[in-house]
A and B are shown apart, each in its own frame.
Chain A
């Protein structure tokens, strides 16, 4: 989430990292590769389908989860958050969505097509405005925006009722992912470093 004109990050780097880490796990969950389960009193990720996903980013994440199944969901968020912003940017560049900074004065990557970049946010905003239900994928996006605090930057209308309704309409594992993200964001704010 960057400023249109300056390209400066509008959401704090640690929160962006956690949000994108959760988004990677969300992709794996939406693709039916993993779900959330409980073991030894902890919330963990459970692998449902070990078949490698098509793209390198989620494939690497799934490989890690298969190799070390005993970590808490919280630990996965922290682990993936370290590299998620760079990894996601690399994937978007590879997919032709972002272009490298080149000689741009800000030296940041920029969207190739501004309309494509603005579309998911616009889609969610329009749905909120029209009080239409969101797709599962967009509900997860909205949930993670709320969890990281980014919702107050990109949503045109703050409608707590709509937000909580669309999150509670999600399947339980995705709700848990959003709740864990919110908790991880809160912990990173309370933590002194």
Chain B
């Protein structure tokens, strides 16, 4: 081997040293989806608020739809700079004004998903604090405490470290599996039943509300493509990690939401969820495994919620930062804290939204689980579905108009099917939005809330067109994120 040959890969080799493999990306993605948060919080909330027992089937179906969506998504990711953001795809596929509209929807949806968690965290921490100190402050005091910590960590740019995250995540998953096994070996008097997987138990009024909260449960899986520049083999690592993560989380959600019904009986699950709310999972564990395990479970539930809060907070501040760098949002949002490298304005903006929400819910005495976690979280789920559908259509359009060597399955068939299915799902959610909100079917709120997204889209398109007319340089860079600093080249 000559000197030059040996040196040929020096740069790539040096950079490859800290590149990620499939397991690391899977870990990041699953932790972004926060499994214990979903199984402890969303599942019982779904049973309780919708009265529908087909939750496990909904997870399986949504997992399958997202799997189809992911085929086109990971394929197009290779052609997109700023690949972690849905609006980069729609800007490329459906035009930059649609990109801005998607960005507005994303900010609404991610913020809704984030602030919803404060309600659940405050409520879930109460029994723990009461157990340690004899009494507990109201949920919103705990929520404000979590808010302060999230805001401070966001400004310091503390992402929960990869290793800590892996340990927490593995413990969470192990715990969920142990809980599932304990549930499964302690069936109710009525015995085992697979009712919850029967389509007839999902295809009922309220299905849209189940679908909304279940979609919200998958939020975070889209982050896999962020790592394409940091993986060993982007063409393989990212797709495989995405499919594996989707399979693991939808499987885990479906099995766990079924297992929860086994000791109670699928006929009583709705009623029991309404009585016990997010404590249900841990009460069951307490009966079968003892109080200590149940307390550990409740504690991990709170840490899992907190990790999810930070993850969403950081996602939002980066989104805002990218938009600031493009000058789609004011330039100040593209600034960073020199010392920590945190996207400082985006982080502060998100914190303001969190504070306002907690204060409003506290003043009006609204229910933190049903009206904040479930309702606002499902509202975020609807926004996520809209972004997924728009992205899926963008994949179709993008590959139809640009020459490529990808096969038809990836560029046409899978994105085509997933676009249609996602639109069907959105229609279902909107049709059941009264259940999501817990209002009467004739309440105007059920139309006003979804309309918020359409207003955001309209304003986004208008802003995009304004930029095209007045600031063509900014317009040309929509969707390019940090790469907006460089002109058209890569």
Contact B230 A193 (CB under 8 A): yes
The B interface is mostly helix, strand or loop, or mixed, namely helix
A183 touches B486 (CB 8 A): yes
Cβ-defined contact, A41 with B489, below 8 A: yes
Residues B10 and A64 in contact, CB atoms below 8 Å apart: yes
**A149 beta carbon closer than 8 Å to chain B:** yes
A71 within 8 A of B: yes
On whether the beta carbons of B338 and A190 are closer than 8 Å, the reply is no
- By a CB distance below 8 angstroms, the chain A residues around B14 are 79, 82
Q: Is A123 an interface residue (CB 8 A)?
A: no
Instruction: Say yes or no for B472: interface residue by CB 8 A criterion.
Output: no
Cβ contacts under 8 Å, A68 to chain B: 7-12
In whole angstroms, how far apart are the Cα atoms of A42 and B489 in the complex? 6
Residue of A at shortest CB range from B324?
A: A186
Q: SS class of chain A's interface: helix, strand, loop or mixed?
A: helix
Number of B residues, CB within 8 Å of A: 44
B59 to chain A, nearest CB (A): 26
> Across the interface, do A149 and B338 meet the contact criterion of CB distance under 8 Å?
yes
* Docked CA distance A38–B487 (Å): 12
The size class of the interface chain A forms with chain B is 35 or more
Tell me if A191 and B7 are in contact (CB < 8 A).
no
Shortest CB–CB separation between residue B127 and chain A, in angstroms?
33
Which residues of chain A from 41 to 75 have a CB within 8 Å of any chain B CB? 41-43, 64, 67-68, 71-72, 74-75
Contact (Cβ within 8 A) B84 A190: yes
In B2-57, the 8 Å CB interface with A consists of 4, 7-12, 14-15, 28
Residue from A75, A82, A150, A187 in contact with B338 in the complex, judged by beta carbons closer than 8 Å: A150
Decide: B340 and A190 in contact? CB cutoff 8 A. Answer: no
CA distance A123 to B318 in the complex (A): 35
- Does A125 sit at the interface, judged by CB under 8 A? no
Select one of A72, A152, A188 contacting B490, CB under 8 A. A72
- Which chain B residues border A192 with CB–CB below 8 Å? 28, 159, 223, 226-227, 314
B321 within 8 A of A: yes
Interface pair A190/B486, CB less than 8 Å apart = no
Q: Which residues of A contact B321 (CB under 8 A)?
A: 186, 189-190
The 3 closest A-B pairs by CB, nearest first: A186-B482, A12-B341, A182-B485
Known: A67-B10, A187-B229; 20 extra A-B contacts, CB below 8 A, are A9-B339, A10-B338, A11-B339, A14-B341, A15-B336, A15-B341, A38-B489, A67-B4, A75-B15, A149-B335, A149-B337, A149-B338, A150-B338, A179-B485, A185-B482, A186-B483, A187-B483, A189-B318, A190-B321, A190-B481
